[in-house]
Structures are given as structure tokens and as C-alpha cells.
Structure 1
Amino acid sequence: MTFSRLLSGIFGAVMMLASPLAAEVRLVMVEQDGCAWCARWDAEIAPAYPNTPEGRFAPLLRADLHEDPPEGVRFSRKVVFTPTFVLIDNGKELARMEGYPGADFFWPLLTRMLGENTGFGTDPAAAAPSARVEGG
């Protein structure tokens, strides 16, 4: 391997690390102070989310309704309701879920949104309900 190829590879790896949103599927939760449904999501879903197949596939990124989207993120239309969950890939919106329907409906709706818009669910064992960690 030549020095220039090695240097090029290192530069590419550094650039990927420098802009984590550029190559990741993320779930952006748009919220605002005083949002009762946001607080309910925080109590019912947030503790378990990062430990689930969904949470590992689409890590959570939080955004405030009254501020600009996170750096590198483009919403396809204005977010009006909180919470709104926006699925992004390469910083671009793929789909959204407006509102929080409660724990019993959130998981199936999120799993469907991920499956219809990304490669999530191609490994059936990863999405099995028994693999999900509930509670905190």
C-alpha cells in the first residue's frame, strides 16, 4: 500500500467521524418545554430506547421545536406538533411520526416506519419482540 493511499484512507475515516449525521440513520425527536406527551415518552420509552434493536439502528437525536434543526439535518416540511419523531438518513428526512400514541402503539409504528424506509428488519432476529428491552 502506498503512503498516499494510506493517507487517503485515514482522511476518509476522519471525515466520516467528523460528520456523524452524514452516514447514519437517526431518529430525531422534536420536543418543547411543557410538552406533556414528550414527558410521557421520556418516562415510558426513553430509558429502554437505546437498548432496543430500533434504538441501536436509529439512535435518538433531540431537537427543540423553537430552534433550527440539528446541524446537517433537513426536514421536508415544518414541524408543528410535539413530539414529532423524524427519521433521517444522511441528514435528510425519510419519514415522520407526529405525536406519541402511547407505548403499546409506538413500538409497532416505529418498527414499521424503519422497515418501510430503511434496511431495518432484514435480520428477523434483531427485530423480534423478545429482543426488546422494556423498562429502565
Structure 2
Amino acid sequence: MTARIFATALATFVGLTTFAAADTALVMVEQDGCIYCSRWHADVGEIYPLTEFAETAPLRIVDLQDLPEDLTFAARVVFTPTFVLFEGGQEIARAEGYVGDELFWMQMELLSRQLTEHRAAAVSQ
């Protein structure tokens, strides 16, 4: 990943750190033999924990064939990898697939916006 993309990713998630919650997580659903999962691990896996987004939504990796019971998915996961944003064990948003790091960080920006909107809606209720 280029330094420009990494800097953009960090800047994208700066605003989220003030909303960090212990029960917020980004869940990566993967499966054995998934070449796109392997590509994500090679391209992003070591970088993700260093981002501001990881402070807000720590990464949790689960297997498609063994989904955890403490998470409520809004819909069945079909593709791997699928990145699902959870808060309080409930799915907030998701991004399916991986075709490269630039698109991944764009997807994470969209997920971060959805998380911000979700939290704003919860406060206004």
C-alpha cells in the first residue's frame, strides 16, 4: 500500500476515535481457500491494526462455516471476504469482497460514515 493511501486511510478515520466503543468491531468473514482473503491479509492485514479505524472497530476474523453466536448478521454471508461492521453484536453495515487496498479503504470510509449515522440516530432517539 502506498504511503498516500495509508495517510488517507488514517485521516478518514480520525473522527471516529472519539466514538470508540468496546462493543464495536469489524468482522472479516473468510474461508479456507479464498484467494481474495489471502490477498487482503497480504495487502492490508498488517496495516489495519495501525489505523484509527482499528481503534474504533478492532478486527475480528471468523470462518464462514463457523459464525459466532454472539453476532447477529442482518443477512446471510455469501461471499468471502465479507467485512461486517458490528455494534453491540448487531450488524450496522457490510462490504463484500476484496479487489485491492484502494477500494478496501474506500469501503471502510463508507462503513465509518454508516457507523457515524447509526450512532447519531441512536442518540436522537
Task: Give me the TM-score of the superposition, normalised by structure 2.
Answer: 0.72
Q: Distance in 1 between matches of 2:104 and 2:56?
A: 16
Q: Give, in angstroms, the shift of residue 23 of structure 1.
A: 4.6
SS in 2 for 1:70: coil
Give the partner amino acid of 2:108: L
Contiguous gaps of at least 5 residues in structure 2: 1-20, 118-125
Q: Distance in 2 between matches of 1:35 and 1:103?
A: 16
Q: Distance in 2 between matches of 1:43 and 1:23?
A: 27
Corresponding residue for residue 23 of structure 2: 24
Task: Give me the TM-score of the superposition, normalised by structure 1.
Answer: 0.67
Structure 1 vs Structure 2 CA RMSD: 1.6
1:1-136 matches, within 5 Å, as 23-67=22-66, 69-118=67-116
Q: Distance in 2 between matches of 1:80 and 1:112?
A: 20
SS in 2 for 1:81: coil
Corresponding residue for residue 9 of structure 1: none
Q: Distance in 2 between matches of 1:115 and 1:24?
A: 17
Superimposed CA distance per residue, residues 61-111 of structure 1 (whole angstroms, 9 cap, x where no aligned partner): 1110111x2241110111011000000000000011010131011112102
Give the partner amino acid of 2:102: D
Give the partner amino acid of 1:57: T
Contiguous gaps of at least 5 residues in structure 1: 1-21, 120-136
**Contact 1:37–1:99 (8 Å) recurs in 2:** yes
Identity among equivalent positions (%) equals 47
CA 1:53 to 1:23, structure 2 compared with 1: closer, same or farther past 3 Å?
A: closer
